[in-house]
Copies of this chain bind each other. A is one copy, B any other.
Amino acid sequence: MNETSASRLREQLDLMFKPRSIAFVGASNDRRKWGEWMVYRPLNTGFRGQLYPVNPREKTILGLPAFAAIGDIPDTIDLAVITVPAEYVPDVMEQCVRKGVRAAIVITAGMGEKGPEGLELQNRVRDIARDGGIRFIGPNCMGIWSAASHLSLAFAEAPRNGSIAFLSQSGTFGGYLYSIARDKGYGLSAFVSMGNQADLNAADLMEYFADDPDTKVIALYLEGVQEGHRFFEVARRIVKRKPIVAYKAGRTSAGSRATQSHTGSLAGADAVFDAMCRQAGIIRPLEAVHTFDMAEALTKQPLPRGKRVGIVAGGGGQCVVTADFCAYLGLDVPELDAITQDRIAAELVPHAPIPRNPVDLGGGMKSIMSLANIVNIVAGLDYIDGVITSPPMAFGGTEMVKEALDAAEIITRISARTGKPVIASGRMADSGSAVVQVMRRARIPFYDTPEECARAMYALMAYGETRLALGDE
Contact = CB atoms under 8 A, between A and B. Distances in A.
A448 interface: yes
A223 B362 CA distance: 16
Interface in A238-268: 249-255, 257-259, 261-263
B319 A351 contact: no
Interface stretch (A12-20, A167-175, A373-381): A167-175
A320 B262 contact: yes
Contacts of A174: 317
Nearest to A221: B317
A254 B324 contact: yes
A321 B290 CA distance: 13
Contact of A356 (B261, B320, B325, B332): B261
A216 to B, nearest CB: 24
A173 B322 CA distance: 11
A353 B115 CA distance: 10
Contact of A31 (B315, B360, B396): B396
Contacts of A259: 320
A258 B315 contact: no
Contacts of A351: 110, 114
Nearest to A183: B429
Nearest to A358: B258
A198 interface: no
B183 A317 contact: no
Interface in A91-147: 110, 114
**Which of A261, A318, A351 has the most B CB atoms < 10 Å from its CB?**
A261
Interface in A348-369: 351, 353-354, 356, 358, 360, 362
**Which of A179, A323, A333, A450 has the most B CB atoms < 10 Å from its CB?**
A323
A327 B353 CA distance: 43
B180 A427 contact: yes
B249 A289 contact: no
B180 A323 contact: no
Interface in A153-183: 168-174, 176, 179-180, 183
A49 interface: no
A335 B257 CA distance: 9
Contacts of A328: 251-252, 255
A90 interface: no
A441 interface: no
B261 A323 contact: no
B255 A324 contact: yes
Nearest to A448: B180
A362 B155 CA distance: 13
Contacts of A252: 323-324, 327-328
Interface in A291-325: 314-321, 323-325
B289 A448 contact: yes
A288 B321 contact: yes
A445 B219 CA distance: 29
A326 B114 CA distance: 27
A179 B317 contact: no
Given A183-B427, A449-B180, A450-B288, A323 B32 contact: no
Contact of A451 (B221, B262, B289): B289
A287 interface: yes
A257 B110 CA distance: 58
B257 A173 contact: no
A399 to B, nearest CB: 12
A421 to B, nearest CB: 19
Contact of A315 (B170, B253, B326, B360): B170
Nearest to A400: B32
Nearest to A325: B287
9 contacts: A31-B396, A170-B315, A171-B317, A172-B362, A176-B317, A176-B427, A250-B324, A251-B324, A287-B451
Give the top 7 A-B pairs by smallest Cβ distance, nearest first: A173-B317, A255-B324, A170-B317, A262-B316, A252-B327, A172-B315, A254-B327
Given A249-B321, A258-B319, 9 more contacts: A31-B395, A169-B317, A176-B317, A179-B429, A180-B427, A183-B428, A257-B356, A258-B316, A258-B358
